[in-house]
Amino acid sequence: MAIIVLEDKCIGCKLCLKACPFDAIDMIEKKAVINDKCVACGACLDACKFDAILREDQGAAEKDLSAYKNVWVFVEQREDKIMPVAIELLGEGKRLAKEIGVELCAVLLGEDIGELAKDCIAYGADKVYLAQHPLLKVFTTDGYTKVISELIQAEKPEIVLLGATHIGRDLAPRVAARVDTGLTADCTKLEIDQEDKKLLQTRPAFGGNIMATIVCTKHRPQMATVRPGVMDKAVSDAGRSGQIIEVPVNLEKKDIRTEVIKVVKSDKAMVALEEAEVIVAGGRGLGKPEGFQLLEQLANRLGGVVGASRATVDAGWINHDHQVGQTGKTVKPRIYIACGISGAIQHMAGMQGADIIIAINKNPDAPIFGIADYGIVGDLYEVVPALIDGLERVDD
């Protein structure tokens, strides 16, 4: 993208000349002029105090922002089932669309998935862009990127949301690059700026120590991926009506550089942490891998599953599927019982949305007590068996 100088704004101060590492600016008649040594590094843009230097696309993109309308949600389906995160995004998308005063549109790709389009409407979509083709039956980066990018370029949505799943994390940056916009990955909160209606995209930054709110000011659409389990799911209403738009798919085998020969599912049992109502999670305070067997007994009693801190996963005591937190899963159970977990910010980022947090820790100053609804100061190897025992007596 070329760099351009706005002659009427340039005052000939030479700040850009000094900042340019490539000797790519000449002063001609007291105006900066970019010469052919320019590599578009942007150093002059930062140096200019008079907004007199732009990237060539900036002016154009700014002019066109009003052409972009509606909130889109990429409805990820696998084996003809809508992924839970897509239902969460339809709920969140509906809220955002209402605040801006626009429509919520679902984007659904696959083969023979007409029924799912109706589900999208029941979950709140006003319109469903339905792209069906044998080459879209299973996800391929090339195929999905091409179809969605072309649709964005044709229809110009204002906001595009995708789940931060393996597929969403692969697809979103490709699409963003193709349509020449930015992307905020792994958001945990989305809001609308009440003044200018721009999307405020919040995500953990700097190792989870701060929350950064990112705004896409000059490009459209505003694109974000959102972590599964963070937003509330939309509630289905079979009585809703909406429009299903069949998208003509212009896709050939040669457009897709990979071929999916077979889908092999992992045979290790997956933990449905994001769906669980009760999670009993263990940390380094367990002291040994066998400690998780005790937690499993408590979880079974409560009809829940076992979660873990990263310290235990890193120690090889339990599989990464169980990890809760910034680099693990974001969970929202009704009850979260943290056993021997200190409450590092990166762990809390993944579980603070739980309705009730119960912490068991022998250190009364452990940070986890700061967010716990109920705190038990004590040795987990005494407290957890006592809880199991108590529950057994209640059941009897």
Residues forming contacts to ligand FAD in the complex (CB under 6 A) are 207-208, 283-285, 309-312, 323-328, 340-342, 344, 346-347, 350, 360-363, 366, 379-381
- Give 321's DSSP letter: G
Q: Are strands 189-192 and 335-339 parallel, antiparallel or unpaired?
A: unpaired
Rounded Cα distance, 110 and 106, in Å: 13
Taking a C-beta distance cutoff of 8 angstroms, is the pair 47, 18 a contact? yes
Of 149 and 346, the one with the shorter C-beta distance to ligand FAD is: 346
Rounded Cα distance, 130 and 151, in Å: 11
Of 146 and 347, the one with the shorter C-beta distance to ligand FAD is: 347
Minimum CB–partner distance for residue 361 and ligand FAD (Å):
4
Greatest alpha-carbon pair distance for the chain in Å reads 93
Of 134 and 207, the one with the shorter C-beta distance to ligand FAD is: 207
Q: Are strands 77-78 and 189-192 parallel, antiparallel or unpaired?
A: unpaired
Of 93 and 328, the one with the shorter C-beta distance to ligand FAD is: 328
Of 229 and 340, the one with the shorter C-beta distance to ligand FAD is: 340
Taking a C-beta distance cutoff of 8 angstroms, is the pair 57, 215 a contact? no
Q: Which amino acid is at 346?
A: Q
Minimum CB–partner distance for residue 274 and ligand FAD (Å):
14
Rounded Cα distance, 299 and 280, in Å: 6
Taking a C-beta distance cutoff of 8 angstroms, is the pair 158, 220 a contact? yes
Q: Sign of torsion, CA 31 33 38 41?
A: positive
Minimum CB–partner distance for residue 330 and ligand FAD (Å):
9
Of 332 and 347, the one with the shorter C-beta distance to ligand FAD is: 347
Minimum CB–partner distance for residue 11 and ligand FAD (Å):
45
Of 157 and 285, the one with the shorter C-beta distance to ligand FAD is: 285
Of 77 and 309, the one with the shorter C-beta distance to ligand FAD is: 309
Of 222 and 297, the one with the shorter C-beta distance to ligand FAD is: 297
Q: Which helix (H) or strand (E) holds 224?
A: strand 222-226
Minimum CB–partner distance for residue 364 and ligand FAD (Å):
9
Minimum CB–partner distance for residue 216 and ligand FAD (Å):
25
Would you list the DSSP string of 22-74?
Answer: T--EEEETTEEEE-TT-----HHHHH-SSS-EEEHHHHHHHHHGGG---EEEE
Take residue 156 and report the two structure tokens written for it.
């110009």
- Give 270's DSSP letter: P
C-alpha 379: how far from chain center? 37
Would you list the DSSP string of 179-207?
Answer: TT--EEEEESEEEE-TTT--EEEEEEETT
Of 206 and 259, the one with the shorter C-beta distance to ligand FAD is: 206
Task: Give whole-number Cα distances, 333 to 186, 327, 346, 384, in Å.
Answer: 20, 18, 18, 19
Take residue 193 and report the two structure tokens written for it.
């700026």
Rounded Cα distance, 311 and 341, in Å: 9
Minimum CB–partner distance for residue 166 and ligand FAD (Å):
17
Minimum CB–partner distance for residue 358 and ligand FAD (Å):
13
104: which strand partners?
71
Minimum CB–partner distance for residue 367 and ligand FAD (Å):
8
Minimum CB–partner distance for residue 360 and ligand FAD (Å):
6
